[in-house]
Amino acid sequence: MLRRCSGYPVCVIFKGFQLSLDKMVGEPVNVNEFQELAREALPKMYYDFYAGGAEDQYTLKENVEAFHRIMIRPRTLVDVSRIDMSTTVLGYKISAPILIAPTALHKLAHPEGEVATARAAAACKTIMVLSFTSSCTVEEVASGCNAVRFFQLYVYKKRDIAAVLVQRAERNGYKALVLTVDTPRLGRREADIKNKMVAPRLKNLEGLLSIEADSDNGSNLEAYAKETMDASLCWKDIEWLKSITNMPILIKGVLTGEDAIKAAEVGVAGIMVSNHGARQLDYTDATINVLEEVVHAVRGRVPVFFDGGVRRGTDIFKALALGAQAVLIGRPVIFGLAAKGEYGVRQVIQMLKDELELTMALSGCPSVKDITRHHVRTERERLHTML
């Protein structure tokens, strides 16, 4: 029979022996296989919360599948005896162009929550963006290990909440602020509505906010967001945010060249091309399809980062070729955490690094700076050559 062993992961109890599920099915050999381990390890409500997207989930599927329509153009007879994947983000050196995206409520996936994720990021010599809606506090994550980390911010109707959290993040050594700009309201996540998803109280907001959200007609996440999110947030408020912090500000949730130009004009330190993991507005383009539009719009004035659908090292290579400075990974980190805790997160990141290194070698790119636009052909370009 199946039951939980000390909470995580699911184990089989048979004639006095315990066999962890991952040992039964074999060690995962790629990032996608962690998703099935997470599905088995988590209660359905929590798995659906992490894995699900908005409405028909068209964009959720497209975020991944759009990568499949981009082809790599490898170059040969290049010295690739040494591969250097290292790069910098806002001046901080990281081992590979892979950051951990802000994702909510890690303790629903594993008892150690974001503290375990942060340790894994530090071990892999990369940057974690701590979610505003984290299970662990800003202070707990900061004290868990010594590493560069950023803090994600949502702006609530009560602006003083944002100010307090920004000050706490800055005081605890966070190096940048990632303002999420695509959430004036919460997207319609139908799995959460059906499951009547109930999220625990956010520890970061203890003593700052007290709202009991009625979830009789669906998820309490949706009800909570309606009560708290500031739908009036607009471009002029970037100046207000700059006035309350010395941290550089990146904005996450840009999908058009027009918004990218505005972001550069208001002086942000970076842009994250993202559709919120396809959890907000369905039938937006896959993020890889709009990345180049954003890159062209800013003309090198600010760095552009990419978020959405990365599951392979080849995906990272394609995003870099289309102009991203680095990519962010969200769900794969959660699935690794749910399956194997800190070790699972480290495995996920290492798998992607190993795949990227191999892709670079086979494509004739000894360093990240050697990956250029000439190394990929998009679907549009392939169709054009057929005309």
Q: Is 110 annotated as a binding residue?
A: no
Q: Is 180 annotated as a binding residue?
A: yes
Q: What Cα–Cα distance (Å) separates residue 284 from each residue in 56, 280, 332? A: 12, 9, 21
CA-nearest of 307, 320, 299 to 85 is 320
Q: Is 137 annotated as a binding residue?
A: no
Q: Is 274 annotated as a binding residue?
A: yes
Q: Is 39 annotated as a binding residue?
A: no
Q: Residue 105 and residue 114: Cα distance in Å, rounded? A: 8
Q: Is 216 annotated as a binding residue?
A: no
Please tell me the number of Cα atoms within 13 Å of 247 on its side-chain side.
28
- Terminal Cα distance for the chain, rounded: 59
Q: Which two tokens stand for residue 196?
A: 């009547």
The runs of H, that is alpha helices, within the chain are: 21-25, 31-41, 44-51, 58-68, 113-123, 138-144, 159-171, 190-195, 220-228, 237-243, 257-265, 287-298, 313-321, 331-363, 379-386
Please identify which of the residues 106, 110, 276, 375 carries the catalytic annotation: 276
Q: Which two tokens stand for residue 148?
A: 């560069």
3-state class (DSSP) for residue 265: helix
Pairing of strands 249-254, 270-273: parallel
Q: Is 307 annotated as a binding residue?
A: yes
Give me the domains of the chain, ranges plus CATH numbers: 31-385 (3.20.20.70)
Q: Is 131 annotated as a binding residue?
A: yes
Strand partners, 180: 252
Q: Is 103 annotated as a binding residue?
A: yes
H or E stretch covering 189: none
pLDDT in tens, the chain (387 residues): 444 444 444 444 333 434 444 444 579 999 999 999 999 999 999 999 999 999 999 999 999 999 999 999 999 999 999 999 999 999 999 999 999 999 999 999 999 999 999 999 999 999 999 999 999 999 999 999 899 999 999 998 889 999 999 999 999 999 999 999 999 999 999 999 999 988 778 888 887 876 555 555 556 666 677 678 889 999 999 999 999 999 999 999 999 999 999 999 999 999 999 999 999 999 999 999 999 999 999 999 999 999 999 999 999 999 999 999 999 999 999 999 999 999 999 999 999 999 999 999 999 999 999 999 999 999 888 777 776
Q: To 5 degrees, how large is the angle CA 105–CA 45–CA 286?
A: 70
Q: Is 309 annotated as a binding residue?
A: yes
Residue 18 Ramachandran class (φ > 0 left, ψ -120 to 50 alpha, else beta): beta
φ and ψ at residue 260, rounded to 5 degrees: -65, -40
Please tell me the number of Cα atoms within 13 Å of 240 on its side-chain side.
11
Q: What Cα–Cα distance (Å) separates residue 145 from each residue in 178, 350, 353? A: 20, 19, 22
What DSSP string describes 17-65? EEEEHHHHH----SHHHHHHHHHHHS-HHHHHHHH--STT-HHHHHHHH
Q: Is 267 annotated as a binding residue?
A: no
Total count of residues recorded for the chain: 387
384 is catalytic: no
Q: Is 95 annotated as a binding residue?
A: no
Q: Is 200 annotated as a binding residue?
A: no
Q: What is the pLDDT of residue 211?
A: 54
Q: Is 102 annotated as a binding residue?
A: yes
